[in-house]
Chains A and B, each alone.
Chain A
Amino acid sequence: MRYVLSNLGQGLRRNLSMHLAVILTLFVSLTLVGAGALLNRQAEKTSDQLGSELEITAYLCRDDDPNQSCQGEVTKQEKQRILATIEDNPEVASYRVESKETAFEKVKELYGPEEADRFEGPNAILGAEDLPESVWITLEDPSEFEGITSAIVGLDGVAKLVDQRETAGKIINTMEAMQRAALGIALLLVVSALLLVANTIRLAAFARRKEIGIMRLVGASTLYIALPFLLEALVTAVISVVLAGGALAGFQYFGVQQRFSDYLEFIPWVGWDDYVVALGVVAVLGPVLTLLPTLALTRKYVKV
């Protein structure tokens, strides 16, 4: 065992520049993969909150609705008529009704857990009854919406129509574009990381070819011969994962929490729970990316 460990240190020092190259490449690619995972989650959260670009939202009247077209809370008959109109319209793919309670939950999520107490007790600034019911309509085709909007807009009980395509569409498109870019660059870097790992092993196997030859002859097991290579791969992977985790944590803390969430308050931002998921992806991917090629290549170079 001591032999294996002293060999590990020696191997890492001997090939220091190659190992650094692997670590840096892996670090950047893992960070991008993690960022891609966070952006993916962010896009999901945003579209949950705002609706996707295929959606139109009809807010129904509530009690004391300031909107001109409302005369108090929407009645049962009015609501049935509205839903029937939506149901029959050929431009509609599907629809769902969002209750006052769901709307209330969304508002609470926007403010975050720190301010949850503002929505509780007798002094709550807002209750579920202050929010309108809404119908979220998904269109068959985002460019065909005039039929449905004109059909609903005049109905009794409808306060207003919001076309989500304008607000949500832009934000979600931007996020998806960023996610695609991050994952695209990550993919390129992953490929170069794999090539670097392969090269490192080739060099290390060449530097140790005499030793390996003797080990094979005297009957050292394949695992024993491959172990220094695998440990080296594991060490580089762990360092890269730690660096990437740190970079993502920095982005999450300084970027998302300290900046974005102040500028853009109407979107719920990714939290530390999402960071943990992204970190998990990175922590699995890192070792896999170094250990798999190492296993495959040591089998090739260190054939029994």
Chain B
Amino acid sequence: MRVIRFEKVTKTYPGTGGPALDDVSVDVEKGEFVFLVGSSGSGKSTVLRLILREARPTSGRVYVAGKEINRLAGWKVPRLRRQIGTVFQDFRLLQSKTVAENVAFAMQVTGHSPKEVRALVPETLELVGLDTKADRLPDELSGGEQQRVAVARAFVNRPMILIADEPTGNLDPTTSVGIMKLLDRINRTGTTVVMATHDHGIVDQMRKRVIELDHGKVVRDQAQGAYGFQH
């Protein structure tokens, strides 16, 4: 089953020179782990924005979970996003809320009952290894721990797809490995993971599918790739 499908997608932002994405066609199957690599401005972020429907393609079609999302009515977009978890380089935690509250927030605002929240939040915190720090504030945690909270928040609603935009960009290599192990574990539960990254070491180590973008075009799509070309 295809979870994400790009069909001849071109995206041009008004006022910029060339297109950010140029005639891109890509399929991602359910349960895959995909690295999206390429230099800054190669179009990685645009791909993620299109999946989240933060942006719409200028031409071509984007399907997520079987739906053509550029034709999705505005009020249905939240429903789409509930099937996608998102993790960012800068964590984006609410500083005034504890670890558990940050994770619970994602459930509360999408209408889950307090009972579901009480059941799933501790379980998810245990999965990311933060069950002992549930009552801490983000300030009191290390970068790696904060990113684990963000992963827990992205995963607590058990999304079909997890999108990670440079999740290790602010972390040291050792901590990064921990986050990657966590993403790998989430991937093994059947969640499709799409991760944009600059981190050569990680991509080389994981040996997952690699899609490389350059100036908005797919220049490589390799099943068990490394960051650079390998012959």
Find out whether the CB atom of A221 lies under 8 angstroms from the CB atom of B78. yes
Find out whether the CB atom of B109 lies under 8 angstroms from the CB atom of A222. no
Find out whether the CB atom of B81 lies under 8 angstroms from the CB atom of A217. yes
Least CB separation from A2: chain B residue: B114
Q: Is A211 an interface residue (CB 8 A)?
A: yes
Q: Binary interface profile of A, 185-214, with partner B (CB < 8 Å = 1, else 0)?
A: 000000000000000000000000011011
Q: Is A218 an interface residue (CB 8 A)?
A: yes
Find out whether the CB atom of B108 lies under 8 angstroms from the CB atom of A3. yes
Find out whether the CB atom of B92 lies under 8 angstroms from the CB atom of A224. no
CB neighbours (8 Å) of B106 from chain A are: 214, 218
Find out whether the CB atom of B75 lies under 8 angstroms from the CB atom of A221. yes
Find out whether the CB atom of B157 lies under 8 angstroms from the CB atom of A218. yes
CB neighbours (8 Å) of A220 from chain B are: 78, 109-110
Find out whether the CB atom of A215 lies under 8 angstroms from the CB atom of B109. yes
A225 to B92, CA, bound (A): 18
A215 to B109, CA, bound (A): 7
A304 to B92, CA, bound (A): 18
CB neighbours (8 Å) of B79 from chain A are: 219
CB neighbours (8 Å) of A219 from chain B are: 78-84, 110, 157
Least CB separation from B107: chain A residue: A218
Q: Is A160 an interface residue (CB 8 A)?
A: no
**B147: min CB distance to chain A, Å:** 15
Q: Is A45 an interface residue (CB 8 A)?
A: no
B94 in complex: contacting residue of A214, A216, A222, CB < 8 Å:
A214
A188 to B85, CA, bound (A): 48
**B101: min CB distance to chain A, Å:** 11
A210 in complex: contacting residue of B81, B83, B94, CB < 8 Å:
B94
A210 to B90, CA, bound (A): 12
A119 to B77, CA, bound (A): 72
Least CB separation from B105: chain A residue: A214
CB neighbours (8 Å) of B78 from chain A are: 216, 219-222, 304
Given A214-B94, A217-B81, A304-B78, A224-B86 contact (CB < 8 Å): no
A225 to B111, CA, bound (A): 12
Find out whether the CB atom of B77 lies under 8 angstroms from the CB atom of A218. no
How many chain B residues touch A (CB < 8 A): the figure is 24
Q: Is B52 an interface residue (CB 8 A)?
A: yes
A214 to B84, CA, bound (A): 13
Q: Is B15 an interface residue (CB 8 A)?
A: no
Find out whether the CB atom of B109 lies under 8 angstroms from the CB atom of A304. no
Find out whether the CB atom of B52 lies under 8 angstroms from the CB atom of A222. no
Least CB separation from A212: chain B residue: B109
CB neighbours (8 Å) of B110 from chain A are: 218-220
Q: Which of B89-123 contact A (CB under 8 A)?
A: 92, 94, 105-106, 108-111
A223 to B60, CA, bound (A): 30
Find out whether the CB atom of B77 lies under 8 angstroms from the CB atom of A304. yes
A225 to B80, CA, bound (A): 16
**A257: min CB distance to chain B, Å:** 52
Least CB separation from A299: chain B residue: B74
Q: Is B153 an interface residue (CB 8 A)?
A: yes
CB neighbours (8 Å) of A225 from chain B are: 109
A218 to B78, CA, bound (A): 8
CB neighbours (8 Å) of B94 from chain A are: 210-211, 214
**A206: min CB distance to chain B, Å:** 15
Q: Binary interface profile of B, 48-88, with partner A (CB < 8 Å = 1, else 0)?
A: 00001000000000000000000000110111111111100
A211 to B86, CA, bound (A): 15
A222 to B109, CA, bound (A): 11
A3 to B105, CA, bound (A): 9
A75 to B111, CA, bound (A): 84
**A58: min CB distance to chain B, Å:** 68
Least CB separation from A218: chain B residue: B106
CB neighbours (8 Å) of B154 from chain A are: 218
The 6 A-B pairs at the shortest CB distance, nearest first, are namely: A219-B81, A219-B82, A220-B109, A218-B106, A219-B78, A221-B78
Interface contacts beyond A219-B83, A304-B74: sample of 13 additional A-B pairs, CB < 8 Å, sorted by A? A211-B94, A214-B92, A214-B105, A216-B78, A216-B81, A217-B52, A219-B79, A219-B80, A219-B81, A219-B84, A221-B78, A222-B75, A222-B78
Interface residues of A (CB under 8 A from B): 3, 210-211, 213-222, 224-225, 304
**A-B CB contact pairs (8 Å), 22 listed:** A210-B94, A211-B94, A214-B92, A214-B105, A214-B106, A215-B109, A217-B81, A218-B81, A218-B86, A218-B154, A219-B78, A219-B79, A219-B80, A219-B84, A219-B110, A219-B157, A220-B110, A221-B75, A222-B75, A224-B109, A224-B111, A304-B78
